[in-house]
Structure 1
Amino acid sequence: MRIEYHRTLIADRVRNAAFERALATVIKPGKTIVADIGAGTGLLGLMAAKLGAREVYLYEVEEVASVAAKVLKANRARNCHLMPCHSMEMQDPPRVDVIVSETLGNYAFEENIIETLNDARQRFLNPGGVIIPRRITQAVAPVVAERLHKELCVWEETGFDLSVAQTMSLNNIYVRTLKPKDLLDGGESAKTWDAVDFSRHNASTRKGEVVWKLSEPATVYGFATWWTAQLAGDVELSTAPGAPATHWEQLYFPLLTPIEARAGETIGVSLRSRTSMEAGTHVAWAATHIDRKGRTARQALNLDKGFLP
């Protein structure tokens, strides 16, 4: 394990402040018992203890768990108890009033937060208990800035036919920082394609579809996605373009060929993902373009096609 990744979490002041505010809204000093699942080096657990939690159970695995143990000792956090395992491996876990889990990626569910919290809600949470985050919504918007498409089509500049490799490049998802101006209608076009409420059981397979009818001509090079987490109360954390910057960025889903669309025409995108502890994350996306004559063109891409055989 390299500590640098965890330093980026500690350096993310927007993230840390949001989770601290969320914990403050649900912790009753001297009464609330908290489970921090995916505790990392222990920051959120220490926050919960400082806010007055009666007991805090921190779940973390492998090398980072040993770092967390030393951090808790250094801070004399006697009411913080490290469980050096994944929460799903824990037999007869202590019941808690609050579950907090910051196991979120640039793609919200790539760290298996759905599977983890399905289990934790059933086995860890007292009746009437609270899960942080409470809800996550995923948004998508067409990208009209050419720069990302040009970056991925550098294969064409060689003077040779490297189209096979270029197609593989385009069947990938890219972590990039996007600005509202890079999106259709300055980002006002963004729509929700998926939502997860952690107070109930959720499927690890996610899918959604949205469409836009254009009011003016546009060239669409791909799609951008991001997420917004409702943590607790009115506390939110978002990775949207234009939101306060975090260590997370947006995701860019390329197209094989840019869509040249005229006013009155329709473009759409469907997204599917499947995540599991065993098989990792699999994502596919497809774009449609319906012209004024009702003719439909479709492009289908799949992250699995971006891997070398």
Structure 2
Amino acid sequence: MSGTSGEQGQFFSMEIANKALVDGNFEEALKHFFVCIKMLPVERRGRYEDQFAAAIHGWITQSSEHAARAVNLYPQIRDLFPETVRTKIAIVKAVQISGQGKWLLNCLPIVKEAMALTTNPEDRAILRIARVNLTTVPFPQWHIRMVNDTMRNEFFLQALTASIKSKSSVVFDIGSGTGLLSVMAARMSNLVIALEEDVCLAMISKEVLKRNKVADRVTVHAKNSMQFETSQNADVIVSETMDCCCFGERIIETFLDAHVRFAHENTIFIPQKATVYVRLFQCREIFDIHCQDYSGIRYRSEYVKINDEPTEQPYWCAAREDYAEFEFLSPPEELHTADFSRLDVLQKSLRCEGSTKLKPKKKGVAHGFTIHFVADLTGTGVLVDSGDCHAWDYGVVPFKEPCVVDVGQELDVSWKLVNNRLDVYNNFYSEKLQKAGSLIQYQTISMDRLHKIRDDSYFKQMMAEITINELPFTEDISFCVPAECVLKTYPNKEPTGTIIAGFIRHDGSLNQDNMFRIEQCVGHRDFVKKIVPSQVRIYGHLFYSDYIHFDARPDPTAHCKVDLATVRNFNLREMRDIRLTQRNDIVLASEEFEMIFFDNDPNNYRNDLYETVTKEITVQPNLGAADGVLYEFEVLGVRNSKLRPVAAFLFQDRIRTGDQPITLNFDYHLGEMLISLKED
């Protein structure tokens, strides 16, 4: 088909469409494809679908605004290719790249439609991965654990009950999430304004409100409260926007703005106050995650304060339960109290600093500070202690060096709170360390690079795969410090014949960026002859864990009689950074099975052997229940579960297993993995 004339004499042709596609002018290409393909019989359109799919994918990824336009145009796009799935997959993948939460959820019906059409195993694998991504990527991973915290929920219900005086009270719920507190408030008030900037959570909350029959009393706005305009004043303002160190989600700025624009002189704020506390802790495992020494350099994570300058991140987050040898060495000491109920006092919390003394209760080796908070929700003793609640981790500030502490000492700690960022400083490093000063070479690197120093179990075997003559022609794309140290001793020569790859992230999951880098390095360049490590296997076990089950799936008994069944569609499907030596809650529920074997011959990547892999795996359970599949890596025949964390894929719900084998789908596509129950 050479071309056709459109309205106002404009000429459309496949030639122009293809040229525009090659030139990256995707919008122009789509205009011509739309008109020309529509003129063809349905049975002839398929020959142009790959070009159209490439154009729509490129167009969506050019601008975040195009995601919305593509979803709105989908009915017309579907009419072009009603019986095939390539374009549907292209749209879903491109919208996913855009990261637009609302439109990610709107892609779920497209995935469902494509799954019903295709019988191609590889397409079904891609769609299964996409379906899970669409429900987990836009959904905050911590949210289910938060709504499952019975203590937190009951305290907020008490506070709302005490604060909402009548049905005519106006309630603002700032950071309303999936609507738990909004439903509670709507049972006591006829007017609730829910403000949630996460579009995904706001959309889900509307369904939650309908399920609980309070939708007529709650107005949901998918906006940050500071961008919300209204003339309505609130009688009660509730905001559960406290991170593990209280202030990290900008609750101070949020309440300052609310005082000025939403409050009247008698408005009640929930919480009314919050106090942050600091403690010393001992846990060698946490220290080793953040601190590794190699070849005369002391490498530290972005959470470790090397000097008085602020770090990239003020604190890390960790749960005590994840570390078997975690121990507090001092009682909590108050750092700062923010009074949310008084505008003049709260303004001082935007920028303040101070110091305190920590008094060890026992002798030990301190590896850092923990930070937690206690929030007074009503000013009358309804206290939420984040250290006692499951919803919050501890904030962790790892030390750059361990510190021996003893009973009777008073250890100086200083802190700064600036624009919602809380930094805590160790002022009691040993005199010897302080005198060494610049003689000690510290360097901040990523957690992934630190992990490669710590987990050197297969390093010797990997480097043994490279001959001395090959080392000058070797490129490290894994950013492995030990490998870099070896390669620095040889002159760098071209062309690259060997690449060193890193398949494992610091959290135990597959490194998708690594898979992309391999493709970029190998591609069609024949001079790359070797990838090391040459072999990587991933093994799995069925497992169950009540602790993980609680973190991953809504627990109706915890929700104070609010129906959050809608949230079950967004159950967590992957859990990472599981340290088996620190956990006694995880029970293996099957023998081991192989998930995938990467034979890293460069020709396998040139031939797209690992672009999409899908297979069924039959597993015999040996216990009565399973939450999912725990997986770990074997590199060149070496495993290291002592130092290397593992990860897990979770089933949608816990399954009860009998004597019969169960069948799993293993799917891999472009560096993304998924293992799930086989669909009937």
Please report the TM-score for the alignment, with normalisation by the length of structure 1. Answer: 0.80
Partner letter of residue 230 of structure 1?
A: D
Matched, 1:235 2:382: yes
Equivalents in 2 of 1:264, 1:38: separation in Å?
Answer: 44
What is the CA deviation profile of residues 131-187 of structure 1, one whole-angstrom value per residue up to 9, with x for unaligned ones? 00000000011224444324433x34xxx42735336563462212238972224xx
Pair 1:165–1:124, CA change in 2 (3 A): same
Match of 1:49 among 186, 196, 200: 186
Instruction: Give the deviation of 1:94 after TM superposition.
Output: 1.2
Q: Secondary structure at the match of 2:295?
A: coil
CA contact (8 A) 2:145 2:390 kept: no
Give the match's secondary structure for 2:336. strand
* CA shift for structure 1 position 226: 0.4
Amino acid across the alignment from 2:274:
I
Output the amino acid matched with 1:212: L
**Aligned equivalent of 1:16:** 153
User: What does 1:104-119 align with in structure 2 at a 5 Å threshold?
Assistant: 104-119=242-257
1:146/1:31 Cα in 2 relative to 1: closer, same or farther (>3 Å)? same
Offset of 1:253 from its aligned partner? Answer: 1.1
Question: Among residues 186, 202, 219, which one is paired with 2:365 in the alignment?
Answer: 219
Do the aligned partners of residues 49 and 144 (structure 1) sit closer, same or farther apart at CA in structure 2, a change above 3 Å counting? same
Aligned residues: 286
- Counterpart secondary structure, 1:120: helix
> Amino acid of the residue matched to residue 88 of structure 1?
M
Q: Aligned AA for 1:247?
A: A
How many angstroms apart in 1 are the aligned matches of 2:155 and 2:208?
A: 22
**Which SS does the other structure have where 1:100 is aligned?**
strand
Q: Which residue is 1:191 aligned to?
A: 333
Give yes or no for contact 1:136–1:228 (8 Å, CA) kept in 2. yes
- Please tell me whether residue 152 in structure 1 is matched to residue 290 in structure 2: yes
Match of 1:204 among 338, 343, 350: 350
1:200 shift after superposition = 2.0
**Residue identity opposite 2:144 in structure 1:** R
C-alpha spacing 1:167/1:15, structure 2 compared with 1 (3 Å): closer
Q: Deviations over 1:30-56 (max 9, x none)?
A: 232111011111110110111x21311
Per-residue CA deviations over 1:63-85 (Å, capped at 9, x if unaligned) read: 32222223223333111112232
**Structure 2: distance between partners of 1:10 and 1:265:** 41
Match of 2:319 among 162, 165, 177: 177
Cα distance in structure 1, aligned partners of 2:141 and 2:408: 49
Contact 1:118 1:200 in 2 (8 A): no
Which string of whole-angstrom CA distances, capped at 9 and with x for unpartnered residues, describes residues 244-279 of structure 1?
Answer: x32211122111122234565431111223336xxx
Q: 1:307 to 1:18 in 2, by over 3 A?
A: farther
What's the counterpart of residue 117 of structure 2?
none
Contact 1:36–1:58 (CA<8 Å) still a contact in 2?
Answer: yes
3-state SS of 1:69 partner: helix
Amino acid at match of 1:137: T
Counterpart of 1:289 in 2: which secondary structure?
coil
- Partner residue in 1 for 2:208: 71
Instruction: Tell me the residue number matched to 1:100.
Output: 238
Name the CA distance, whole Å, in 2 between partners of 1:197 and 1:205. 14
For the 8 Å contact 1:35–1:98, the answer to whether it is kept is yes
Equivalent residues of 1:59, 1:83 under 8 A apart: yes
The structure richer in strand per residue is 1
Other structure's SS at 1:14 match: helix
Please give the alpha-carbon distance, in whole angstroms, between the structure 1 residues aligned to 2:435 and 2:374.
29
For residues 284 and 29 of structure 1, do their structure 2 counterparts lie closer, same or farther at Cα, with a shift above 3 Å needed? Answer: closer
Distance 1:3 1:168 in 2: 22
| Alignment RMSD (CA, Å) | 3.1
Which consecutive residues of structure 1, in runs of 5 or more, have no partner in the other structure? none
CA contact (8 A) 2:300 2:445 kept: no
- Following the alignment from structure 2 to structure 1, what is the Cα–Cα distance between the partners of residues 444 and 242? 23
Q: Which residue of 1 aligns with 2:194?
A: 58
Q: Distance in 1 between matches of 2:141 and 2:409?
A: 47
Q: Which residue of 2 aligns with 1:257?
A: 401
Q: 1:162 and 1:295 mapped to 2: Cα distance?
A: 18
Q: Residues 236 and 269 of structure 2 are in contact (CA less than 8 Å); yes or no, is this contact kept in structure 1?
A: yes
Structure 2 unaligned residues grouped into runs of 5+: 1-137, 306-312, 438-442, 447-680
Shift of 1:239: 1.4
- SS state at 2:185 partner: helix
Q: CA deviation at 1:214?
A: 5.7
Query: How far apart in 1 are the matches of 2:296 and 2:155?
Result: 46
Q: CA–CA distance in 2 between the matches of 1:237 and 1:54?
A: 27
Q: What is the deviation of 1:213? A: 5.3
Aligned to 1:40: 177
The letter for the 2-side match of 1:225 is I
Amino acid at match of 1:57: I
- Cα gap change, 1:177/1:162 in structure 2, threshold over 3 Å: closer, same or farther? farther
Q: Relative to structure 1, is the Cα distance of residues 146 and 120 closer, same or farther in structure 2, using a 3 angstrom cutoff?
A: same
Against the structure 1 CA distance between its residues 132 and 221, is the aligned structure 2 distance closer, same or farther, given a 3 Å change threshold?
A: same
Distance change in 2, residues 1:216/1:247 (3 Å): closer
Aligned identity (percent) is 24
Larger helix fraction of residues: 2
Amino acid at match of 2:295: D
In the other structure, the counterpart of 2:262 is 124
User: 1: distance between equivalents of 2:361 and 2:435?
Assistant: 21
Whether 1:86 and 2:224 are equivalent positions in the alignment is yes
**Structure 2 length-normalised TM:** 0.39
State whether residues 287 and 299 of structure 1, in contact with CA within 8 Å, keep that contact through their aligned partners in structure 2: no
Are 1:288 and 1:299, in contact at CA under 8 Å, matched by a contact in 2? no
Cα gap change, 1:195 to 1:298, in 2 (>3 Å): farther
Matched-pair contact (CA < 8 Å) for 1:60–1:85: yes
Deviation at 1:122, TM superposition (A): 1.9
2:423 to 284, 287, 299: 284
Deviation for aligned residue 1:290: 8.6
SS at match of 1:111: coil
When structure 1 is superposed on structure 2, of 260-269 and 250-259 the one drifting more is: 260-269
Structure 1 residue 206, shift from structure 2 partner: 4.3
